[in-house]
Structure 1
Amino acid sequence: MDVNFDLILENENLILRPIQLGDVGKLSLMTESSAMWRFFTHDLSDHEELLAWFAPAFNRERLQFVIIDKKTNEIIGTTAFGNFSFVDQRLEIGWTWLGKDFQGTGINSQVKGLMVCYAFEVMGIERVEFKTDVLNIQARSALKNISAIEEGVLRSHTLMTRGRRRDTIFFSILKSEWNHVKRENDW
């Protein structure tokens, strides 16, 4: 299993392509509200924090995509594959956010569908993981809506913005569940 850092995924509505340094300016215009980042490890409204948050992508530690709306050819958010464990045949999908105008529109489900499908059907992954803040009800609901299974909570797991310690809730989809999940989500 290898990571293709030039990977482009798309459906009829969206293109996911690897982030480029030139995308950061456009993305920074979408991150200006610090309230958006209360469930993130960085306050992306701060330019230095934004650059630090993207550093693993530019260091090829995770495959960070920009999400592009095909109708407008505009960048509308980001998402990533990361925390690769090739020996265990697992990876995490996360680091996802959408600009305010695109939240709650079904785009996140389409993004997850493209990524999960690629992970299982092309990469041969056995387990796709997701994690979020236990307080992030919207993200938890979205993960349940795509048939990801809630697994448990790691207490005081991650340092968040403003010094808060996050309890992290894990979700997953297993290869053995993939056909059911694909059918349920019409992916």
Structure 2
Amino acid sequence: MTAKLPSPVVLTGRHIRLEPLERRHLTDLWTAVGPDPEVWRWTMASVPGSEEEFGAILDTRIAETASGESVYFAAVDLADGRAVGVTGYHDYSARDESVEIGGTWYARSAWRTAVNTEAKLLLLRHAFEDLGMGRVFWKTDARNERSRAAVLRLGAQYEGTLRRHRLRPDGSWRDSCYFSMLADEWPAAESRLAERLARG
């Protein structure tokens, strides 16, 4: 059976809501993130120096969602209703039943909280159970140890590293580490993620 392609939807958990990224999220996200070099360190975007530059980054992601190239979500903290980060689906194929989760960044205030864990739980559940994907994958900068460790904690498997894969904004070349999770691995991963969220 062929999988369904991702489309903008609202996914709600106990701590956060993932909703289609829109311009109305700009102020919350800029306030949360600002020109924090650590937030942008491992992304493929340069550090925005102003809210206007940040808005241009958001506009690109919103346009990619509108064109069907990607589907970006704002992660909204249910405690105060403010957006604290962005994540999304990319490089998807219904025929191959495959989708990437990526383009993710969060405000430092959301680091080491339930935000990323629940966002991944929501995205994985939607990908496997609603869209019928057989494989979900991630790619990270090989030097980004925090991100690599976070993906492995989800229950993903390391697949390999593409050398000299992408040009970074600073002109250096990035090696990309690939990780994946398959549909038959999802039930066990879901249980572990649910337990982690329950522990707080």
TM-score by length of 2: 0.86
Q: Are 1:50 and 2:54 counterparts?
A: no
Asked if structure 1 preserves the Cα contact closer than 8 Å seen for 2:4 and 2:132, the reply is: no
The more displaced of 116-125 and 35-44 is: 35-44
Q: CA deviation at 1:100?
A: 1.2
Q: Are 1:39 and 2:42 counterparts?
A: yes
Instruction: Give the CA RMSD over aligned residues.
Output: 1.8
* 2:198 matched residue in structure 1: none
* 2:138 matched residue in structure 1: 130
Asked if structure 2 preserves the Cα contact closer than 8 Å seen for 1:28 and 1:45, the reply is: no
The more displaced of 59-68 and 72-81 is: 59-68
The more displaced of 103-112 and 89-98 is: 103-112
Asked if structure 2 preserves the Cα contact closer than 8 Å seen for 1:41 and 1:160, the reply is: yes
Residue of structure 1 aligned with 2:152, choices 144, 151, 172: 144
Distance, in Å, in 1 between the alignment partners of 2:12 and 2:177 is 29
Asked if structure 2 preserves the Cα contact closer than 8 Å seen for 1:16 and 1:68, the reply is: yes
Deviations 1:40-97 (A, max 9, x none): 1112424166246524234331110000011100111010011111110100001111
Q: CA deviation at 1:6?
A: 3.4
* 1:83 matched residue in structure 2: 91
AA at the equivalent of 2:41: R
Distance, in Å, in 2 between the alignment partners of 1:85 and 1:71 is 35
Structure 2 CA distance for partners of 1:140 and 1:159, relative to 1, 3 Å: same
AA at the equivalent of 1:155: R
Structure 2 CA distance for partners of 1:25 and 1:71, relative to 1, 3 Å: closer
* 1:20 matched residue in structure 2: 22
After TM superposition, the structure 1 = structure 2 runs for residues 1-187 of structure 1, keeping only pairs within 5 Å, are 1-3=3-5, 5-29=7-31, 30-46=33-49, 47=53, 50-51=57-58, 53-54=60-61, 55-186=63-194
SS at match of 1:163: coil
Asked if structure 2 preserves the Cα contact closer than 8 Å seen for 1:69 and 1:76, the reply is: yes
Deviations 1:87-129 (A, max 9, x none): 1010000111111111111321111011001111111000001
AA at the equivalent of 2:42: F
Distance, in Å, in 2 between the alignment partners of 1:20 and 1:36 is 20
Question: Where does the alignment leave 5 or more consecutive residues of structure 1 unmatched?
Answer: none
SS at match of 1:111: helix
Asked if structure 2 preserves the Cα contact closer than 8 Å seen for 1:66 and 1:79, the reply is: yes
TM-score by length of 1: 0.92
Percent identity, please: 27
Question: Where does the alignment leave 5 or more consecutive residues of structure 2 unmatched?
Answer: 196-200
Q: CA deviation at 1:3?
A: 3.6
